[in-house]
Amino acid sequence: MVKEREPILFVIRPFAGIGNINKLTDRINKSLHNSRFVPEVLVVDNASDLQKLIGTHIGNGHNKVFAVGGNAAVNEVASQLVNTEATLGIVPVGSGNGLARHLRIPSDIAKAVRIVHRQKIAMIDYGLANGMPFFCNAGLGFDADVAVRFSKLTNRNFWSYAQASLSEFTKAKPKLFRIHDNGHTILKEAFSISIANASQFGHYAYIAPDADTADGLLDVTVVSPLPKFFAPSIGAKLFNGTLGKSKYVEMFRVRHLVIEREDASGFLHVDGIPISTGGTVEFNLRSLGLKVYVP
């Protein structure tokens, strides 16, 4: 008796920088052993259609869904899979791929797709920022301002991200935050505040070098105002994993955090997606709420 092949849904979000979608689709289709699986590759232009498409796939008894893209695409797909029996796969073809790099998922498309054959699954935590899920990191201040600028670019890669960061840095100003943590309140002027589930933004930029996606904690990195001539030093520490050794950086871990800011019209980013929020942002953690295929 021939065993029926199992469908796998691949969701491509056509963000800028993802490359030629037809070639990408062809490579995905050729990467699977078709005797076991049937790939269904969908290009989803409208984020609002994701919930229906993924819900239908899961509702038909299929529990394998791959996000094809970077952190933003992973966020949109994974948000539909949390606390379900479905498992997330990642084909990291985005600009940063922070969560994929943290989980050591190969950047080679074929290798990333074929991870599903091993059936090795990790349970990971995820964060919530005012109820919005994030899986890699979220942030306020400079990080969010860069996300806003980067989201408007038509060419997204490491160099365009670096250019966006430099452009924002030249005009960045510290902001006043009130941080509520475990019954304690701190009034803090900060350049940026990052709340991380995974260790890096992407491209091996380690905003929280010791972060663990399954430790039940969020890693908070607060960068204080610093002289602009210290920027190269901070940048080097970001990429060599020693950011916490800077006197301008404070790191701590939480399960719950509330941050109030003086700029009520500012932005928050969740996995690189900029979102306009009010003056208060509440962060929470959900332990081991997502299944992910890993090498």
Q: pLDDT digit string (tens) for 43-101?
A: 888 878 888 899 888 888 889 999 999 899 999 999 999 999 999 999 998 878 999 99
Domain 6-126 has CATH 1.10.3210.10: no
| pTM score | 0.90
Q: Say which residues have a Cβ less than 8 Å from residue 7's Cβ, sequence separation at least 6.
A: 37, 38, 39, 40, 57, 62, 64
Q: Which CATH number fits domain 132-285: 2.30.40.10, 1.10.238.10, 2.60.200.40, 3.40.50.80?
A: 2.60.200.40
Looking at the chain, the domain(s) classified CATH 2.60.200.40 span 132-285
How far, in whole angstroms, is CA 216 from its chain's centroid? 17
pLDDT at position 153 is 62
pLDDT at position 2 is 46
The pLDDT of residue 26 is above 60: yes
pLDDT at position 4 is 75
Looking at the chain, the domain(s) classified CATH 3.40.50.10330 span 6-126
The pLDDT of residue 264 is above 70: yes
How would you label 114-149 residue by residue, b for 16+ Cβ within 10 Å and e otherwise?
ebbeeeeebebbbbbbeebbbbbbbbbbbbbbbbbb
